[in-house]
Structure 1
Amino acid sequence: MTRHVTFMTIDDAEHYSPGQRAAIVAAYPAHEREARAKGIPVLGSGRIFPVAEQLIACEPFRLPRYWPRLGALDFGWDHPSAAVELAWDTEADIVYVTKAARAAQQTPAMQVLTLKPWGEWLPFAWPRDGRRETLEGAGVALAKQYAAHGLNMLSRHAQFADGSVSVEAGLMEMLDRMQSGRFKVFSTLLPWFEEFRLYHRKDGQVVKLRDDLMAATRYGVMMLREAVVDPAEFRSARRPAGQADPLGAFR
């Protein structure tokens, strides 16, 4: 028997007007609103990011061309491979998730076809399992397979500046940014929010199920220092008057 789970929110109930939907949500007790309106399970302390969606969601906008950007990958096969693009407002130190892609059982060549239009110049962070050789790639490490197909892979796997790769440290960095208003996600990235709602722990351990975009985002946050400005945009850009430049991009 084949089963499929479809996630819907009250915003998908288009037979209600926006005003009616808002009134329905407001009528729920505050602690039940996410579960009833967004379909978010009540996971209690098990949720890894106990943050209301409205605190991190933002409407898409045209990115300032002087913002550094970075791609990030999580490898997979039966469970999906996933990729995100991060844009960094370095003046306010706010990270934006601006693109997301997820697909199962796709070779590196197929995934690169999806990701290269994001910008051939865009560097991609990747996890340390990208150093492993795979049967599908005839013994060639995954990261090298992506690079061979033209994706601009960083020279080393995702890690903090001190060389550590702690999952918990990465999650805490993301949570700290969310709670302090320094992490935003384009509201149109529905698959990203699906994973965000269900990302949780069991017996203290991160449940590695439907977490592909979450993992890719974590790798990107770890390697944010490698974000760069689009070279074509940089050449034509002029530093706005009064714009801070903490990365020294315009020096």
Structure 2
Amino acid sequence: MPAITASKYLVQAAWDDVPHLDEKTKAELLSSYPPHMRKARSQGIPSMGAGAIYPVDLDDIEVAPFAIPRFWKRAYALDVGWKCTAAIWGAEDPADGTIYLYAEHYRGHQLPVIHAQAIKARGIWIKGAIDPAARGRSQRDGEQLIADYKGQGLDLVNAVNAVESGLYEVWALLETGRLKVFSTLVNLKAEYKLYRRDEHGKIVKEFDHAMDAMRYLIATWSKIASVQVPDRTVGGGSVIADSDAGY
């Protein structure tokens, strides 16, 4: 179960968890609701109605994991905080420009050195973007926290943090099928289902660390996405493109 806080977890209850409902009753109940409310009523998934920030069904963007080709551009974005630090990695298919979110780091109550180790393990060469405020209690705190992460060897730039334009950029990619999510990103998917605005149109700022990281990644993509540079050469300057295979 994805953790919301150290003491709270996200639990979804579906009609299949209610033994007294038979299939006929479920069908009758389902037909009584409009299409946009059916998953909310039958599966416990929040309605993708006016309150949802990204009104695109998760089923339409989720894909099975696959090996990312070496020649695809990659990048990640980082949303940091004591309660939860989230990082989301993406890779771009050069054939059609589709970005695949393929990995996540999601952990709370740890020092920057611990998070940095996990991030570097996924590819120290991959460039990242970080929230400019870095969840600091003040701007000075935020700047120091960014310095702490850079001091751990992470190649970071300040993320583009224009909220509404960033949300629109992500939504446009989702709507046109150019942003996909690996099915293994359980925390990102859990947040996606609950990411919404309140009755006044304001973003509900809770359980949204992966959503913020996703927005930073897309908004800053053109500045940080890169292909891995071959890491070894031989005599005469010829390049070994794959250090594992040797050629």
TM bucket, shorter chain: 0.7 to 0.9
Q: Does 1:82 align with 2:86?
A: yes
User: For 1:100, what is the secondary structure of its paired residue?
Assistant: strand
Flag the 1:184–1:38 CA change in 2: closer, same or farther, 3 A.
Answer: farther
Report the secondary structure of 2:9's partner residue.
coil
Distance in 1 between the 2:183 and 2:42 partners? 16
Superimposed CA distance per residue, residues 120-177 of structure 1 (whole angstroms, 9 cap, x where no aligned partner) = 101110111149433xxxx9611110111122223xx112xxxxx4201000011111
Q: C-alpha separation between the residues in 2 aligned to 1:95 and 1:54?
A: 16
Instruction: Report the AA paired with residue 232 of structure 1.
Output: P
Verify: 1:120 aligned to 2:124, yes or no: yes
Scaled by the length of structure 1, the TM-score of the pair is 0.76
Consecutive unaligned residues of structure 2, counting only runs of 5 or more, are 1-5, 18-22, 232-238, 243-247
Q: For this pair of structures, how many residues does the alignment match?
A: 216
Q: 1:6 to 1:210 in 2, by over 3 A?
A: closer
CA contact (8 A) 2:48 2:56 kept: no
User: Are 2:162 and 1:158 equivalent residues in the alignment?
Assistant: no
Q: C-alpha separation between the residues in 2 aligned to 1:229 and 1:37?
A: 43
Code of the aligned partner of 2:144: A
RMSD of the TM alignment (CA)? Answer: 3.0
Mapped to 2, the partners of 1:38 and 1:104 lie a distance apart of 28
Q: Give the conservation status (yes or no) of the 8 Å contact 1:57–1:185.
A: yes
Q: Distance in 2 between matches of 1:68 and 1:190?
A: 23
The Cα offsets for residues 167-211 of structure 1, whole Å up to 9 and x where unpaired, read as 010000111111100010001111111000000001111111000
Q: C-alpha separation between the residues in 2 aligned to 1:214 and 1:140?
A: 22
TM normalised by structure 2 equals: 0.78
* Corresponding residue SS for 1:113: helix
User: In percent, how many aligned pairs have the same letter?
Assistant: 32
Contact 2:196 2:203 in 1 (8 A): yes
State the 1:88 CA deviation: 1.0
Partners of 1:189 and 1:223 lie apart in 2 by 21
Note the residue ranges of structure 1 that are not aligned, 5 or more in a row. 14-20, 160-164, 238-251
Residue identity in the other structure for 1:57: E
1:214 and 2:222 equivalent?
A: no
